[in-house]
Structure formats: C-alpha cells, structure tokens
Structure 1
C-alpha cells in the first residue's frame, strides 16, 4: 500500500496564506460594490442622512446580484436597531418601500413636474430610530439582476435563501453593525418570506454560523400567511365593510359553501354570486377600499399575485399621460417613480451598473416566480416558542390581505392574552385597536397585534 503523502510545512503555510488572500479578495469584492450617495437628483442640497447603495452577489458563483439602499439611523446608528426591509409583491421594488412607505424621502407632489420629480423629507420615517436596509428582492425586482437567464427562475424558498445569504454577506462588509439588534420586516407578500428568513437566521445562530446575528424579532404589515385563507377572507371582509349586501353575502356563502377560491365551475349558483361580488367591488382599489381603481389598468392573468386590483397601475399607460387627471387615483402618485428611476442621471447617481436592466418598474409582474410555500403558520409558531419579539400590524381598509384573516391565524396559535383589545392614539386621535399576546409568562415572548386605518398606508402595495 502506498504511503500517504504528508504536506511539508512550507506547503501548509502557502495554503493558509492563500486561504487568507482568498477571503480578503472576496471581502474586497463586496466592499467595491458599495457607494456613499451624498446628493440625489430631485433633492436640493446634500442629503441630511447617510445613504449607501450597492450590490451583493448571491447564489452559484454570485450569479444573482441583489441591489440595496442602506440608510443609517438619524438618531444613533451605533445603538439603534438594524432592520432589513422587504417590500411585497413579490416583485415590488425596495424604492417603493423607501419612498411610498417608511423611508426618509417622499415625492413632493405639489412641486414636482412631469419632467422633474422632486423630493421632500418624510417626518415619520422609520430611519428616525433605526438603520434600514431596503433590498430589491427577489432577483428581477427593481435594480437587482442575474448574470444568466437561469438565475431569474425563483421560488419562495430560493428567494428566502438568497436574501439570508445577502444579509450574511452584507454584515461581513459592515462589521460595525453586526452587534446591533436585528429585525426582519416587510409587508404583504413578504409575510411568506420574512418568517422563513428569520428561521434561517435563528438556525444559523444555533449552528454557530458566522457572523452571528443579534436577531431580536420581526415586523409584518398585512402579511400574506396562508394565501388561500387570506384571499378567501376577502368575501366576508367585503360584507363587513358594507361593500356587498347581506343578501348577496348570505347567498354567496351558502352557494359556495364558504369556498371562494377553488370554485367548481359547474356550480353555477356560486359562480354567478361571485360575478355579482366582482361587479360590486371592481371599481374599488382593494389596497385601500376608500379609494377608486384606475380606469387605465389592464387585468393581469388570472391567479397572478400582482393583478390589477393590487397594483392599481399600468406603467405604459401611466407614462403616456400628458398630465395627471383631475380625478385622483393612488396610481398617479407612482408616475414620478417611473420617471425618476429610469433617468440616466439618477441611475448614475445611484451607481446602477450600466446595461443590467432594460427598464425599472415599481412592481415587476413578469417575474419567473413559483410559489412553493403555502403557509408560514408553523414558522410563526416555532419562532414564538424561541422567544423572538413579533409585531403584526394591519390596516383595516386593506382588502388584499384582510385584517380578519390575520386575526384568524393569530387566534389559531392559542396564545395567552396579556392585554386585551384597547384603542391606541396618535396626537389625541384614535388610530386603531391593539392587543398583546404571550407564549408564556416571559415578557420577551411578546406578539403585539395592531389594527387601524392609519396603518393602511404602510400596508399598501
């Protein structure tokens, strides 16, 4: 039998040195993708907050390049929590979350013109108290791209794994933040992805994966949790909000036997009732039932998550408008995002890699995306047992993911009620109702549950 070769000391030193050099090269590759943005087209003067943009490669050979915006806390970056924010869809850009939901900038509609969108500061930005990473995920969203066509084929589990990898690499490139309290947050369809990502972080910490993350919990707004049930609750919600009559609701409930999604096409009574429900609600914007839908939208394919009722917009027709119509529609607010983000000067300012995307869209309805997670209830159940803090909030005018559906799955967890339903206030006005649920007597096991109209803007697409 041949004697195994034993590497000499010089060879061992060379291998060790090469490994260190390889790690340094990989780290530098990450660092080279970062850019500090001090000024932005549309905002006068220097930005009053620290903005960084960049790409993080994930997947095989870093085939997928996820783009992000990172904004440091305006209070104390060193001490304040670090939040990873995922906008819903799937396929809605992080820029949408940044400008239309929780970020420090919003479009100034009073001073913006069609050719020159302008920004104003958002006094209610979450960056007042937190460091926030807004990431364009999954690939194909916003400015994120893949180097191969195969990279664009995505599922729930692949997207969650890639976002987890993104966060690990981001922390390696930002060691100053790896001890900050970490929260994963998102809205709408991110309700599927966030619990999976949190579970991966928790499992990684327990397995000793580096860097260890100071995970504290997660935040979800109007989250998709059990898609079938969430969508099925739209009919009872419509009745509760007087969008359909009691007679129509009772008929639909009886004829469809409480099942409004997987409908037998031979059940003509049920089908006819559902058509009547559609007639009653088709002119209502389902993301905010007090608002109208836009007449410019074209229906997306049946079964698509990003259907016209959710998006409420059609980019081509929005951009063809010579002026904003007098009748206001939420979608008209999105016109400026298309104009701004597709501007070459803007893309240079953000350090977008040239030639990586054909056209920026606020929500990409053409993703090659496959659902493979049909409930995240067990993720929630497991994470609650681990003691993570969880905040679930719902706008009570959102019919995309009705609050009664969210209430139902939270109730199914059979948690102990710490504080019962009570009103909560903003500037002396009732903003909604809230309750606190506990897994045990430990104060760390808190699942606050908020519902209120003032939160609707945060939960809209």
Structure 2
C-alpha cells in the first residue's frame, strides 16, 4: 500500500511538473548545433524554432534565440523586432547585431560565408529575434487568411508568444526583460510593452520581469513624424534656404497632409530634388533600375531582384537600404498600410538588394539546421500581408510606460531621411519631462559618437553620428557601446 501511495505521489508530481513546464523538452529540440556557411564554434548556445499559438488552425511564430556570451543567468533577455510592417527580424540577425555577419563577396558551396560579429548584442544580452506577425519571415499558419494583422492584434499575439516562450525557457524568467526594435517597431514596441504591463498587473503567468524598452529610428506620431522631413533636409543642406522658407510660408509648418495646392507644389519640387538620394542613409550610394552588378552570381539571384541595378561603388555585402522601414517618405496614418511588395508594384523603389540573406535562408541545409517547417514557404525579407494601423499615436503609450517606472531609450541614426531624428527629438521633448542631463556628446572608442539628452522618468533620447535608418548596420561598435551601457544602467 505504501509503495502504491509512493508511486501515486510520484505520478502526481510528474503531472504537476508538466503542467508548470509542459514543453521542457522543447529547448533541447530547438538547439542549433551548426549553421551552413559558418565554420567555427558558436560563442554561446543558439536555439531556434516555433512557438505555436492555439487556433484552428494554429499560428506558428518563428524565433531565433542567442544565449548571452557573457553571463546568461543574469544578463537581460532582449526581444528584437524589425518593422515593415511585414519584414523579418532576420534582418537584424544577419545584417545588424546578430552573432554573424556575411563575408563580402565570399561563397562556399553556393552559400554566403559567415563570420562571427565582434559587435553582436549577444555579447551582453540574451537575444530573441522574432518573425512577427504571423505570415512574416518564417512564421506561418496553414490558414493564410490569418495573414490579416493590425497593431493591437500583433501586440496581443506577441505577448502570448512571450508567455509561451518563457514557459519553454523558465530559467530566464527571472532575468531583466527588455523589448527592442526599429522602424515600424516604433509601433510594435510600445503596444506590446503595454500588453506585458497589463499582464503583470493582472497576475498573468509566467510573470515577465519587464524593465523597459529600446526604439531605434521608430515611427511614433503622425504630426511629429510627418513634419520632420523638411527641417531635416534643410538642416542637412539638401535643400536651399529659399526652398525651406517657401515651404514654411506656404505649408505653415504642416508638411504631411497640407490641403494647400501651392504647398503641395513646393513639396513636389523638394521631393524631385531628394528622390535620387538613399533615404535610409543620405551618406550612402543608391542603386537604381538596370543590370545586376555581379554577373557571375546572376543565376543565384531571385527573379524578383533582377530588375534592380548598380551602385556607384560596390557595397561589400548588400546594397539595399530599403525593405523594412515605414514610412516611405511619409508618416504612418490610421487605416490599412500598403505592404512593401505592394508599394514596389506601384512606384520605382531604389536601394533594394537582400540577395545574400535570401540565398542563405532559402537553402535546405540552413533551414534544416534552424528547424524551419517546410510549410512556412520561401523566406523573403518583407512580405505582402494585410496590415492595419489601429493603435493611433504612440505618445500616450510612451507617457504611460515611462511614468510607470519603465526605462526607455529612444535612439536615432542622424542621417536617416526615412524617420528623421528631428521628429523623434521633438516628440520625446513633447512628453514634458524635466531635463536631467542637458544635451551633450557621448563617446565610443575615444571618439564623439553622437549626442544625447536625458529626461526624468528614465527617458533617454540619443543620436548616432553618421548612422542611417538601421543604426547597428552602419555603426556596429557604437551601437554595442550604447546598448551595453544603457542595459547596465551606466552613463552613456
């Protein structure tokens, strides 16, 4: 009898454990042991795979998790989201601050060659790269009618992803948790953070140890973003004093939706002057329609890219600056947002080339190594999904989060013409917080790397000198510096 009772208690203990941690086998099944294109030893453990959200049929959200190279048990867990909407967070993984970079012009066995990124954010944090919403990147559902998304729906589903992810990786639940991203993630991040905070307040399990968020060159508000471009272009010497004064007088400071015909004529003139610039980094070259530069590798280039053309000089790894940023020279307005593929069918789009990532992530061996389900279909940097902006301005979200004690770092590459720093600087100032650290420079590697202003309620606005829309791509060392210092609570 005693033996039977003991066995019963053991069975009950196992059942209770499975209820608490039903997917404990998942991390080991998700372990990435090698990556085709990379010859070497991983500096930390990598995991990738799917978190399934219940439904009929289910939604499968793909993540790639890089364990911190420093101290995984205490270093923060940071979620990274690329924007679009509709663009894959593998952009951040392979082109910005992930553990690997592509080696310029190198291939091995038909695959791009990878090397370790000395400025990976996984040097100081446990990094989760998530393809969101469903239908983006490697995230999928058997029911493609689910590929109809919105701000509020995406925030809710990403929150559910996080809850299930922490169930699978409970050893990280006590670590400080931050949400980060860029571009249209300026909408994803505050809306998701608000859902996480609501979950914490209502006792949703597992409890997420949420501490704050980081937004890079992120859209925020129709008025501030919409009126940022003209002052930016003038300040950068891209338009003349006379053009700027003319626009000021005719548009009365309202540039994004003026009803004045004379104002619109002036803006059209300015647009025609700026149209040949790379609007994602005005310092970088932009290539236009014509022949692909690398004839030798032409057979490897997806058909959709073959109408894109040459640069003035080769950019070693990729020549694109377009593909995951919203707005396209305009602020985000309420309602349905045209996807990048839709925009590309209607207007000539410069500066697009994600050939190496496309080759690599559609290789069968790579997909097997990172546990991609074949049902996800072919990977593209950005996909044609139906998406509605229904969360409005992010000003109130930022106000609520920062006044509730959550830290916020808002950073801008100062040569981005897509989401100019002028608008971001203005809306952070508009929150009305007291300045606690007056505008000053900050340094990286002994050199001035940008400028910052710190406000009460742990709000920091920071610029990165000479960087474009995707800051860690242009300034990797500087990005790791401000990222690591901010996470550790050190002065930047």
**Superposition TM-score, scaled by structure 2 size:** 0.79
- How far apart are residue 212 of structure 1 and its match? 0.7
Give the aligned partner of residue 327 of structure 2.
Answer: none
CA distance in 1, matches of 2:467, 2:233: 19
Give the aligned partner of residue 413 of structure 1.
Answer: 431
- How far apart are residue 296 of structure 1 and its match? 2.8
Give the aligned partner of residue 390 of structure 2.
Answer: 372
Give the aligned partner of residue 454 of structure 2.
Answer: 436
Are 1:318 and 2:305 an aligned pair? yes
CA distance in 2, matches of 1:284, 1:429: 28
Give the aligned partner of residue 356 of structure 1.
Answer: 376
Give the aligned partner of residue 84 of structure 2.
Answer: 89
CA distance in 2, matches of 1:149, 1:40: 29
Give the aligned partner of residue 445 of structure 2.
Answer: 427
- Comparing 131-140 with 342-351, greater Cα deviation is found at 342-351
In structure 2, the residue corresponding to 1:249 is in which secondary structure?
Answer: helix
1:390 to 408, 417, 434: 408
1:271 to 242, 264, 273: 264
CA distance in 1, matches of 2:312, 2:242: 36
- How far apart are residue 59 of structure 1 and its match? 5.4
C-alpha contact 1:78 1:180 (8 A) present in aligned 2: yes
Give the aligned partner of residue 313 of structure 2.
Answer: 327
CA distance in 1, matches of 2:165, 2:254: 44
Equivalence map 1:166-315=2 (5 Å): 166-264=161-259, 267-296=260-289
CA distance in 2, matches of 1:59, 1:233: 42
Are 1:40 and 2:35 an aligned pair? yes
Deviation readout 1:58-112 (Å, 9 max, x if unpaired): 2534622110000000011111000011111112211111111111111111434
Give the aligned partner of residue 464 of structure 2.
Answer: 452
Give the aligned partner of residue 301 of structure 1.
Answer: none
**Superposition TM-score, scaled by structure 1 size:** 0.84
C-alpha contact 1:187 1:459 (8 A) present in aligned 2: no
Give the aligned partner of residue 4 of structure 2.
Answer: none
CA distance in 2, matches of 1:369, 1:315: 25
- How far apart are residue 197 of structure 1 and its match? 1.2
CA distance in 2, matches of 1:170, 1:214: 13
Deviation readout 1:311-347 (Å, 9 max, x if unpaired): xxx96453578x9766335327622011111112211
In structure 1, the residue corresponding to 2:246 is in which secondary structure?
Answer: helix
- How far apart are residue 382 of structure 1 and its match? 0.8
C-alpha contact 2:410 2:461 (8 A) present in aligned 1: yes
Deviation readout 1:205-252 (Å, 9 max, x if unpaired): 111111111111111111111144313311221111111111112212
In structure 1, the residue corresponding to 2:64 is in which secondary structure?
Answer: strand
**Cα distance 1:49–1:326, how it changes in 2: closer, same or farther (>3 A)?**
farther
In structure 2, the residue corresponding to 1:48 is in which secondary structure?
Answer: coil
**Cα distance 1:67–1:149, how it changes in 2: closer, same or farther (>3 A)?**
same
Can you give the 5+ residue segments of structure 2 that lack an aligned partner in the other structure? 1-7, 291-300, 321-351, 475-492
- How far apart are residue 185 of structure 1 and its match? 0.7
Can you give the 5+ residue segments of structure 1 that lack an aligned partner in the other structure? 1-12, 298-313, 440-445
CA distance in 2, matches of 1:113, 1:424: 41
Q: How many residue pairs end up in the alignment?
A: 419
C-alpha contact 2:178 2:214 (8 A) present in aligned 1: yes
In structure 2, the residue corresponding to 1:111 is in which secondary structure?
Answer: strand
Are 1:120 and 2:119 an aligned pair? no
Deviation readout 1:340-385 (Å, 9 max, x if unpaired): 111122111211111321x211122x11111112211111111111
- How far apart are residue 22 of structure 1 and its match? 12
